[in-house]
């Protein structure tokens, strides 16, 4: 039960991150005319920051853990996710140029989050939380 509740809370943190991501993407792409491929990078970075804060404090309640260790591990996971999002979006953009960029972003972002990010967030935040608890010498 608790694991399912954490997943729902992580989805909500991810939804906030996605809204931020798409807000930045929309402003850059539609408002400023930046190519969709290149507008994706700063949008994903901004969304990643919101995602870290939301997952750390709200979903995993890991705010008592070491911020630097969590941030380092989260950054590694997120950089890989950014790379996956970018590469998959690039490939999809080339293969399906008539598809709306926003639709590709939604599909690809959700797939990367479910297949990579969420499972790794469990490791990032659980590992740090465990390292802060006293170890038994038995």
Residue 137 lies in a domain: no
The H-assigned helical ranges of the chain are: 2-26, 36-53, 67-95, 101-112, 118-131
Residue 42 lies in a domain: yes
- With a cut of 90, say whether residue 136 has pLDDT above it: no
Strands (E), the chain: none
Residue 49 binned pLDDT confidence (cut-offs 50, 70, 90):
very high
Query: What's the rounded mean pLDDT across residues 83-92?
Result: 94
pLDDT of residue 95: 96
The count of structural domains within the chain is 1
**Residue-number span of the structural domain to which 41 is assigned:** 2-131
pLDDT of residue 135: 45
- With a cut of 50, say whether residue 134 has pLDDT above it: no
Residue 6 lies in a domain: yes
Residue 108 lies in a domain: yes
For 28, other C-beta atoms within 10 Å of its C-beta total 19
Residue 104 lies in a domain: yes
How would you label 66-87 residue by residue, b for 16+ Cβ within 10 Å and e otherwise? eeeebeebbeebbeebbebbbe
> The whole model's pTM is what?
0.71
């Amino acid at each position: 039960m608790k694991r399912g509740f954490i997943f729902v809370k992580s989805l909500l943190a991810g939804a906030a991150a996605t809204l931020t991501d798409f807000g930045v993407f929309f402003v850059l792409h539609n408002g400023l005319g930046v190519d969709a491929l290149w507008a994706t990078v700063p949008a994903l970075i901004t969304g990643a920051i919101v995602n870290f804060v939301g997952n750390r404090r709200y979903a995993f309640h890991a705010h008592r853990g070491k911020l630097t260790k969590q941030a380092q591990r989260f950054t590694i996971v997120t950089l890989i996710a950014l790379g996956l999002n970018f590469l998959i979006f690039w490939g999809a953009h080339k293969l399906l140029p008539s598809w709306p960029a926003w639709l590709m972003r939604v599909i690809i972002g959700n797939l990367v989050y479910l297949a990579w990010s969420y499972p790794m967030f469990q490791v990032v935040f659980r590992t740090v939380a465990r390292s802060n608890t006293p170890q038994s010498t038995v």
